[in-house]
Structure 1
Amino acid sequence: MDLFSGTTMRVLEKSLNGSQLRHRAISENIANVDTPNYKAKKVSFQDVLKKELDSSSTLNAYRTHSNHLEFKSSSSHPSIIQEQTSYTHNGASVDIDQEMAELAKNQIYYNSLIDRMNGSFSNLKMVIRGGS
């Protein structure tokens, strides 16, 4: 039995990977803010996470009430990194204010994932110590 192969840990790992990819794309956008004809990149992480969860096939859903939402899988997923098409005066599509806001939002998201992962490890540590 692998202690770190549970659904929660796999989802947290995929989420951290997505956050890292988003950070890299935002950093590239900020670095190229003045590069003529540069097209900003955006990571659509939610689609990537859905694809990973669909492919793992270990997440089974059971509806206990008819008003609960169904878990549906879709065979078509958009690409992970998409190029933006709005342009500035030099042909670039980077809005520095938007990128800085996305960077801050991604940092908060990343920190919340790390806190959740630390909580999982603390629970595991408590179990190993026998509840003390």
Structure 2
Amino acid sequence: MNLFGGTISSLENGLNYASLKNKTIAQNIANVDTPNYKAKNVSFEKMLSDAKKSAISANRTDNRHFEFDIKQSTPGVYSYENFNYRSNGNGVDMDAEQASLAQNTIYYNALIERVSSKFNTLNNVIKGGR
């Protein structure tokens, strides 16, 4: 039985995206002084397309063959390969990273607020409106 019609799972996917983006931004900020480090970013469209094709299954021609799946570990993350922001080859723009972090934090907090609202509604129904 699906209580919210898939809303919770959609919010969960949004939170997974925001969490991965936050980790990527934090990694970029941590490597701001690393020579030849290329800044990384997360694309929701790329993450969605990678999720659709992330699992690769083996074709079994005999029932004695092992079943296995290969899954991509971090879908949607890509690097800016040809972008050098500094003379040492580093591609991290600190101002852009901080702005992106602030934007992602607002997005994440909005999703958390929505999930909390859904659970409060469920709690209210369970208690019978009291």
TM-score by length of 1: 0.72
Deviation for aligned residue 1:3? 4.5
Match of 1:86 in 2: 83
- 1:131 offset after TM fit, Å? 2.4
Alpha-carbon distance in structure 2 between the residues aligned to 1:119 and 1:50? 29
Q: Deviations over 1:62-92 (max 9, x none)?
A: xxxxxxxxxxxxxxxxx60110132021101
* Residue pairs, 1:65-80, within 5 angstroms: 80=76
Letter aligned with residue 118 of structure 2: S
- Alpha-carbon distance between aligned partners in 1 of 2:45 and 2:104, rounded to the nearest angstrom: 13
1:94 aligned partner, one-letter code: V
Structure 1 position 129, deviation (Å): 1.3
TM-score by length of 2: 0.73
Aligned mate of 1:95, from 65, 71, 93: 93
Q: Which residue of 2 aligns with 1:7?
A: 6
Aligned length: 107
**CA distance in structure 2 between the aligned counterparts of 1:105 and 1:127, rounded to whole angstroms:** 34
Give the 5 Å matches for 1:87-126.
87=84, 88-126=86-124
Q: 1:27 corresponds to which residue? A: 26
Residue in structure 2 matched with residue 61 of structure 1 by the alignment = none
Distance across 2 between alignment mates of 1:42 and 1:114? 22
The percentage of aligned residue pairs carrying the same residue is 48
Contact 1:39 1:83 in 2 (8 A): yes
Bigger radius of gyration = 2
Distance of 2:111 and 2:29 partners within structure 1:
24
User: Per-residue CA shift, 1:7-48, capped at 9, x if unaligned?
Assistant: 100011111111110011000000000100000000012442
CA RMSD between the two structures: 2.2
Q: Is the 8 A contact 2:47 2:77 kept in 1?
A: no
Q: Which amino acid aligns with 1:128?
A: I
